[in-house]
């Protein structure tokens, strides 16, 4: 297979995780943020995602599988992406980082996972879903961004239903989501028979309200929710990460 593994016109090549992971991205269009890096580490250290087969729903450029494979030692990773252009970019990134033995890419719609995978075939599901409902917030400038950030192609309930179908009994879903929608997140996951088990609020600074929540939910049964100490991104200097976050990205 011949894939262009260099940055082409309108693309950038960015190094993260101390240079362990290299990511091709487009200058305009969808570009990953810090959120999927936080999710990957949370999924491994709180969700046990390094054990068993896992799938990333809506992988985008492939950032979560790359961090899981290159930095966090995961081996059996499937990545699902709807958009053809992002799927192509993720494919190039997998080969660029020599992760083709650990990461299997599938192009498809998470709303139709039953056509792509057997039910109960994964131990872990990860997802950095769209944060905004279609009627809220400013619309993104491109279709690629809109699909990634707004509930255009899938809703939170779609994610919960897909995860419930894909997970084996007692399997776990890990998501990152706006803290302001935490109550809605819990309600929707429970509707999909996914019981919240561990949550961690993410704060821009220690004296600021939480912006995100990292949540681990388990399929089936009941689990007492454990709220972990907050994850603080920045110290007093807003341009510098805290020691914990620096260890993830550096």
pLDDT at 179 > cutoff 80: yes
Query: Dihedral, CA atoms, 54, 72, 69, 220, nearest 10 degrees?
Result: 0
Do 219 and 171 touch, CB atoms closer than 8 A?
A: yes
pLDDT at 158 > cutoff 50: yes
pLDDT at 138 > cutoff 90: no
204-215 pLDDT tens trace: 999 999 999 999
Residue located via tokens 């007492």: 224
pLDDT at 90: 96
Q: DSSP secondary-structure letter at 134? A: T
Sequence spans of domains, the chain = 11-249
Give the CA radius of gyration of the chain. Answer: 17
In this structure, CATH architecture of domain 11-249: 3-Layer(aba) Sandwich (3.40)
Of the pLDDT bands very low, low, confident and very high (cuts 50, 70, 90), residue 1 is low
Average pLDDT of the chain is 90
Alpha-helical runs (H) found in the chain: 35-45, 63-70, 84-96, 143-149, 156-166, 182-191, 243-249
Give the Å distances, CA to CA, from 35 to 100, 115, 122.
Answer: 24, 29, 23
3 state DSSP class of 162: helix
- Sequence-separated (6 or more) residues with CB below 8 Å from residue 181: 131
| CA dist., res. 90 & res. 1, Å (int) | 15
- Of 145 and 5, the structure prediction assigns the larger pLDDT to 5
pLDDT at 28: 83
110-127 pLDDT tens trace: 999 999 999 999 999 999
pLDDT at 160: 97
What is the pTM for the complete model shown? 0.89
pLDDT at 147: 46
Within 13 Å of residue 241, how many CA atoms lie on the same side as its CB?
12
């Amino acid at each position: 297979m011949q894939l262009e593994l260099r940055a082409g016109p309108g693309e950038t090549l960015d190094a993260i995780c101390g240079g362990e992971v290299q990511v091709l991205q487009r200058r305009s269009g969808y570009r990953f943020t810090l959120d999927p890096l936080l999710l990957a580490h949370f999924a491994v250290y709180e969700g046990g995602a390094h054990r068993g087969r896992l799938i990333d729903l809506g992988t985008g450029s492939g950032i979560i599988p790359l961090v899981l494979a290159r930095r966090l030692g995961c081996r059996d990773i499937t990545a699902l992406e709807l958009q053809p252009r992002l799927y192509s970019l993720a494919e190039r990134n997998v080969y660029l980082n020599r992760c083709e033995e650990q990461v299997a890419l599938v192009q498809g719609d998470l709303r139709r996972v039953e056509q792509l995978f057997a039910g109960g075939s994964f131990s872990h599901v990860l997802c950095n879903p769209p944060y905004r409902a279609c009627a809220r917030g400013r619309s993104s400038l491109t279709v690629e961004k809109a699909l990634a950030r707004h509930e255009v192609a899938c809703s939170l309930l779609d994610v919960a239903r897909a995860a419930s179908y894909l997970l084996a009994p007692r399997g776990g879903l890990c998501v990152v989501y706006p803290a302001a929608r935490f109550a809605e997140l819990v309600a929707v996951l429970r509707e999909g028979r996914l019981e919240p088990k561990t949550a961690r609020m993410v704060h821009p600074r220690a004296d600021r309200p939480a912006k995100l929540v990292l949540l681990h939910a388990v399929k089936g049964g009941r689990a007492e929710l454990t709220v972990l100490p907050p994850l603080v991104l920045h110290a007093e200097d807003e341009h510098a990460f805290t020691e914990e976050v620096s260890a993830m990205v550096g």
